[in-house]
Amino acid sequence: MFGHPECFCVLCAFMIYKMESIVKGMGRRQRGMWKGLVLCAGWGVCGAVLQCCCGEVPWEKGAWPVSGYLLLLYGGILGVGYVLLRRASLLRQLTSCQVAVPALLGVWGVTLLMGLFPQVPEGLAAREAGFLHRVGASWPLLGLYTWLSLLLGWVVLYRGEQLWRRRSWTVSDLSFCCFHLGLWLVGVAGALGHADEIRLRLPLRTGVVERRVLDGQGKLYELPFGVKQEGLLWQHASGQPPALPSLAGVEVGLYPLQGKPQKKQVRVNRPVKIDGWSLYAMGYEGETGVSGQVGILEAVYNPWIPGVQAGIVCLMAGAVGWLLQTPSRRKEERVGWKD
pLDDT (tens, 9 = 90+) of the chain, 339 residues, equals 444 445 545 555 554 455 445 444 444 455 567 888 888 888 988 888 988 888 888 888 888 889 999 999 999 999 999 999 888 878 888 888 888 888 988 888 888 888 788 877 765 455 566 777 788 888 998 999 999 999 999 999 998 988 888 887 888 888 889 999 999 999 999 989 888 888 898 888 888 899 988 887 778 889 999 999 988 888 877 767 666 777 788 899 999 988 899 999 998 888 999 998 999 998 887 655 555 578 889 999 999 999 999 999 999 999 888 888 766 555 555 444 444
In this structure, are 72 and 203 located in the same domain?
A: no
Residue 339 falls within a domain, yes or no?
A: no
In this structure, are 34 and 105 located in the same domain?
A: yes
* DSSP reduced 3-state for 307: helix
Backbone φ and ψ of 117, nearest 5°: -115, 130
CB-based contacts of 105: which residues, under 8 Å, 6+ apart? Answer: 40
Residue 101 burial (C-beta neighbours within 10 Å; 0-12, 13-18, 19+): buried
Residue 63 falls within a domain, yes or no?
A: yes
Number of domains within the chain: 2
Residue 91 falls within a domain, yes or no?
A: yes
In this structure, are 205 and 59 located in the same domain?
A: no
In this structure, are 117 and 172 located in the same domain?
A: yes
Range of the domain at 211: 199-301
Residue 338 falls within a domain, yes or no?
A: no
In 3D space, the residue among 18, 176, 1, 194 whose CA is nearest the CA of residue 104 turns out to be 18
d(CA 291, CA 194): 38
What's the pLDDT score for residue 19?
44
| Residue 247 near residue 283, CB atoms below 8 Å | yes
In this structure, are 249 and 100 located in the same domain?
A: no
| Residue 82 near residue 94, CB atoms below 8 Å | no
Residue 337 falls within a domain, yes or no?
A: no
d(CA 24, CA 30): 10
In this structure, are 104 and 179 located in the same domain?
A: yes
In this structure, are 99 and 213 located in the same domain?
A: no
In this structure, are 141 and 203 located in the same domain?
A: no
Residue 219 falls within a domain, yes or no?
A: yes
In 3D space, the residue among 132, 156, 150 whose CA is nearest the CA of residue 191 turns out to be 150
* DSSP reduced 3-state for 302: coil
187-211 residue pLDDT tens:
999 989 888 888 898 888 888 899 9
In this structure, are 137 and 260 located in the same domain?
A: no
| Residue ranges in 29-117 assigned as alpha helix (H) | 30-54, 66-87, 91-94, 97-116
d(CA 338, CA 250): 58
Amino acid at site 111 = T
In this structure, are 97 and 130 located in the same domain?
A: yes
Count CB-CB contacts under 10 A for residue 156: 22
In this structure, are 40 and 142 located in the same domain?
A: yes
Q: What's the CATH code of the domain at 251?
A: 2.60.98
Exposure class string for 271-303: b at 16+ Cβ within 10 A, else e: bbebeebbbbbbebeeeeeeeebbbbbbbbbbe
Backbone φ and ψ of 314, nearest 5°: -65, -40
d(CA 2, CA 192): 10
In this structure, are 168 and 204 located in the same domain?
A: no
Angle (CA) 161 162 167, round 5°: 100
